Structure 1
């Protein structure tokens, strides 16, 4: 059984690919009404993106719910670069036998533009091969720690992550430009339930998870975050997947 959280699809695709390769089931934690039966589960996995070298709040809260199992457990974090100490911090709350980081295309367009098209395709192709390797190791229940922590991992996962959660998760800079047609997709898709429609225009609560699903998936590309995202490309993995891999 694999539980996942995903913003723009990288982690959803990762979880579902691993489920397919290992003959398992993947569950989006944002749509779960209650936990599936775990009594006879022989392996349990968690997949999530890295936010500022840490575990997203929604996943950190979720791992308090499942019982600690005696079976094989593993975690995979998707990231655009370094993972810091996120997997070690995760394992303090839910023990993991194996931990991985998986390099995926950048989607945090508040900080920088997306990768170019060729780099996106290269990263997804490399990830496919790495997932095959992971799946084989998971099926053999091998204890593995293959996480690219990067330099200054402790500083990033403690100080930088604290700063992100304290100051950088404000949703106030989000706004919709005039080309917004009020379709409400951002409202329906927000995992933090931080968006509502007011007179047909989306408005944001004070804080959110900063998954950027709203800004990257807007069909009209009408959503901006202050002045940071103007002119930058949008990214969701769906645009780069064949039909049988859609998430």
Structure 2
């Protein structure tokens, strides 16, 4: 495919807690560089907000948090210098375990509005589905399907972007209301982070403090101390090498067996999957089902 002259330099900015969105960002980077584009990939985390709009295309990716982008994504957008020249084309790609259904349909609205205030023109938005890392586990057969189809989904996104396709959604009023209510979660995340408990398995290695994207964890007397800047990404709880951290509140959101994307891949590598229609029944899995079955 011939690359349109308007796209030479692309920035992929992504926020990822437990690795799903990072996998999508890496796959997209590989796809675009393979087509000859210059790609700058930026992980959104505290202390890494320096960026600019001097690119031909900005692609923002984030994991859906309570029907919206995480608060740290808003902070990153706010830190962008306002482009006073020609508008910068932008794409917003959300990543969830449920797909493009209510209550997630308006999850990109707030971040798009913020980007527009920075003189970005959002021309494309899309949902990518990955295995769920909270509340309800995606069974291994469906997780296998999602990981297997990811390169093809990303290829289609690249095709759309390079073809100049404009793809925007129009959320219904109820979806906008749900999204607005979901923003209240950002206040609750502060308390969630403060209430994380440390058990006797803690070795004081500091992994959690080093990896926290919100810079919310400090080490004191070889034990982690949690502040009020938690963004509820669950990276520390799921990623702790010693399984030392536990939720003190909202325990229902934590998967019993944890979440490790590499372990999911290893566990499902040779799985034989049944038809999607048999695996993803009911409204709960409607978005995932449609995602896997769409062309």
- Aligned position for 1:236: 260
Query: 8 Å contact 1:54–1:84 — kept in the other structure?
Result: no
- Aligned position for 1:214: 236
Q: CA deviation at 1:168?
A: 4.3
Moved more, 23-32 or 170-179: 23-32
In the alignment, which of 76, 100, 104 is matched to residue 126 of structure 2?
Answer: 100
- Aligned position for 1:116: 139
Aligned structure 1 segments of 4 or more residues deviating by more than 4 angstroms: none
Query: 8 Å contact 2:44–2:213 — kept in the other structure?
Result: no
State the TM-score, normalizing by the size of structure 2: 0.71
Count, aligned residues? 235
Change (3 A) 1:120 1:146: farther
Query: 8 Å contact 1:74–1:98 — kept in the other structure?
Result: yes
Deviations 1:161-181 (A, max 9, x none): 22x122344112211211122
Change (3 A) 1:150 1:226: farther
In the alignment, which of 67, 84, 89 is matched to residue 72 of structure 1?
Answer: 89
- Aligned position for 1:245: none
Structure 2 unpaired stretches of 5+: 1-10, 34-38, 117-121, 267-295
Deviations 1:120-141 (A, max 9, x none): 2222223332111111111212
Matched, 1:194 2:209: no
Q: Hey, which of these two has a bigger chunk of helix by percent?
A: 2
Query: 8 Å contact 2:215–2:229 — kept in the other structure?
Result: no
Deviations 1:16-71 (A, max 9, x none): 211211122321122636325x43x2111111111100111111111121434534
| Distance in 2 (alpha carbons) for counterparts of 1:220 and 1:150 | 44
3-state secondary structure, aligned to 1:187: helix
Q: How does 1:169-184 map to 2 (within 5 A)?
A: 169-170=190-191, 171-184=193-206
Q: What is the aligned-residue RMSD (CA, Å)?
A: 2.5
In the alignment, which of 42, 51, 65 is matched to residue 35 of structure 1?
Answer: 51
Q: CA deviation at 1:210?
A: 0.6
3-state secondary structure, aligned to 2:159: helix
Mark the structure with the bigger radius of gyration: 2
Deviations 1:63-82 (A, max 9, x none): 12143453431110111224
In the alignment, which of 5, 12, 23 is matched to residue 2 of structure 1?
Answer: 12
| Distance in 2 (alpha carbons) for counterparts of 1:150 and 1:216 | 35
Structure 1 unpaired stretches of 5+: 243-247
